[in-house]
Structure 1
Amino acid sequence: MPSDAPLPSRYEIRPLGPEHVEWAKAIVTHSNAFGSPVWSVLWPDEMTDRNYKVFGALDHMVEHQIASGYSLGLFDTEYQYKRSESAATGGKLWWDTEDLSADGDKLMEQMDFPLLSVALAYDGFFPFDMSRIAPVALVLGGFAESLHALEVLDKRDPASWKPTGPRQVLMRNATATKLDEGGKGLMRHLAHRIMRQAAENGFRGMQIEGYHDSVTAVWSNPPAPFKGEIVSRINAWTWGVENEKGEMVHMLRPSKQDCSKIYVTLKA
Structure 2
Amino acid sequence: MITEHGLLTTMDDDGPGALVRDTHGVALPSRYEIRLITPDLANKILALIYFNNFFESSVWSGIYEGQLVKKALETYHASKAFYQMPELVPNNGLSYCIWDKEFVFKKPESAAVGGACYWDDFDLNDPDLEVNGKQKLLDALDFPIVSFGLSIDKFAPGDMREWEALMKVLPLNKGLKDYYAAHDPRPKGSWEPTATGQVIDRVGTGTREAYQGQGIMKALAKFIMLEMKARGYRAIQISCGDARVHHVWTNPPPPFRSSTLVSLPMWFYEIEEDGKKIRPYEKSKVANFYHVGVLQRIGRLYMINLQ
Counterpart in 2 of 1:251? 280
Give the secondary structure class of the aligned counterpart of 2:175. Answer: helix
1:119 paired to 2:144: no
Q: Classify the secondary structure of the residue corresponding to 1:118.
A: strand
Any idea what SS the aligned residue of 2:219 has? helix
User: How high is the sequence identity, in percent, across the aligned residues?
Assistant: 30
Can you give the 5+ residue segments of structure 2 that lack an aligned partner in the other structure? 1-24, 296-304
Aligned to 1:97: 122
1:191 aligns with 2:221: yes
Question: 1:48 & 1:76 partners in 2: Cα distance?
Answer: 25
State the shift of 1:228 in Å.
Answer: 1.1
Tell me if structure 2 keeps the 8 A contact 1:28–1:177.
no
Q: C-alpha offsets along residues 27-50 of structure 1, whole Å, 9 cap, x if unaligned?
A: 110011111111110121111100
Relative to 1, partners in 2 of residues 1:62 and 1:194: Cα closer, same or farther, differing over 3 Å? farther
Counterpart position of 1:33:
54
Task: Name the structure 1 match of 2:19.
Answer: none
Aligned to 1:142: 172
- 1:204 aligned to which of 220, 234, 237: 234
Q: What is the RMSD of the two structures over their aligned residues, measured on CA atoms?
A: 1.8
In the TM superposition, 1:148-167 aligns within 5 A as: 148-167=178-197
Could you say which structure has the larger radius of gyration? 2
Aligned residue pair count: 264
In the superposition, the TM-score normalised over structure 1's length comes to: 0.92
TM normalised by structure 2 equals 0.81
Indicate conservation of the 8 Å contact 2:37/2:89, yes or no: no
Match of 1:85 in 2: 109
Please list every run of 5 or more consecutive structure 1 residues that lacks an aligned counterpart in the other structure: none
Distance 1:267 1:181 in 2: 28
Contact 1:168 1:204 survives alignment (8 Å):
yes
Query: Which one has a larger percent helix, Structure 1 or Structure 2?
Result: 1
Corresponding residue to 1:242 among 272, 277, 291:
272
| 1:65 maps to amino acid | V
Please give the per-residue CA displacement for 1:201-244, whole angstroms capped at 9, x wherever unaligned.
00000011111111211111111110111111111101121224
Amino acid in the other structure paired with 2:184: D
Q: For residues 128 and 210 of structure 1, do their structure 2 counterparts lie closer, same or farther at Cα, with a shift above 3 Å needed?
A: farther
Aligned residue for 1:259, secondary structure, equals strand
